[in-house]
Structure 1
Amino acid sequence: MIDKIRRTLDINTILATATAEVRQLLNADRVAIFSFHPLSNYRDGNFVSEDVLPEFESALNWQVHDSCFANSFVEEYKNSRIQSIADIYEANLDPCYIQLLAKF
């Protein structure tokens, strides 16, 4: 994966390569990179890159409003937190996250 990323300086290609390689490595249905808009107090954002199996709808470029994140996790993610969830219904998530993630 690192070699593929080093061959380009285009951010979209780098993100697409990273999501595709990580999805394959994890054998996941979807891997996505989400960007929060700081001026919205981290309540609004969109998926900027994604690799997803064909049977699932793409979330790429969906505009998302998430008040749960801003209230609970901004500082953790500013400090490079990464989260992987195998099953949103068994991950002990707050109901507002389940409602949001169930769309994807």
Structure 2
Amino acid sequence: QRRIHPTFHISRLRPHYGNNDALFPRREVKTFYDFGDNDEGEWVVDEIIAHQWKGRTLSFLVRWNLGDTTWEPVAECNELEALDQYLELLGVDRVEQLPKRPRS
């Protein structure tokens, strides 16, 4: 099993350029699978794993069903069942009651 880290720093990413037939004649060009677009624009949230305050702005670290994680603004998370579970886990009723600094 390969151990590939799911998160990469942006400085490590490079664009993919297809095969150049003039430089590499007769080289087989492999096509990549097209996953298509998500027509509904909806993604499945596994859980909310953290939160952060930057001034008055609140964001949540969301783990998606495909394994990736992103910071999402509170406005994008208000309707999530995962938010209710996160608030219950921390023992608060509303997002405004979330601690401003992480517990140490």
Q: Which band: TM-score by shorter chain?
A: under 0.3
Bigger share in helix: 1
Relative to the length of structure 1, the TM-score reads 0.25
TM-score (structure 2 length as normaliser): 0.25
Whichever of the two has the greater Rg, that structure is 2
